[in-house]
Amino acid sequence: MLHFSRWKIVAIVLTCLLGAMAAVPNFFSKTSIKSWPGWLYNSQINLGLDLRGGAHMLAQIDVAGLKKEWLDNIRDDMRSRLRKAQIGYTGLGNVGDKVQVTIVKVEDEEWGTIRMPNIVPRFSRTPGEIRWSGLGIGRHQDEILAPAEEDS
């Protein structure tokens, strides 16, 4: 069995009594504590929100800011995925409540179906379209280099 010396027991009991006396004013209102005699401990402990009967918080969500941040994250993710897949794009950005990117599929004689950036800006009366992917690599090489060969 544990045995404590008498002075340790007295010290522990006095500490507990002082703590209890310090806690007593918290059970009364401030107006009733003011009427107590001056020699009596009358200071209340400042309790946090959680100890004063729960946290009453006003939760406000900035919906417009949250939506903008969400769309920005989607746009940034789309940009990194398009770059990783090596897909050319134009017009990537937030338009109203959506993220917009402009990519079209074009048939190419040499490469088959390829994806490439669409025309930007697109106007309502003259939207334009891409009909072919462009000339193949080296298609006009002989015509361009022929005058240089004649000079040498």
33-91 confidence digits (pLDDT tens): 888 888 777 787 776 766 666 555 556 778 888 899 999 999 999 889 888 887 777 77
Range 87-99 average pLDDT: 81
Domain edges within the chain: 6-51, 63-133
**For position 14, what pLDDT does the model report?**
95
Whole-model pTM? 0.39
For residue 151, the one-letter residue type is: D
Percent of the chain with pLDDT over 70: 84
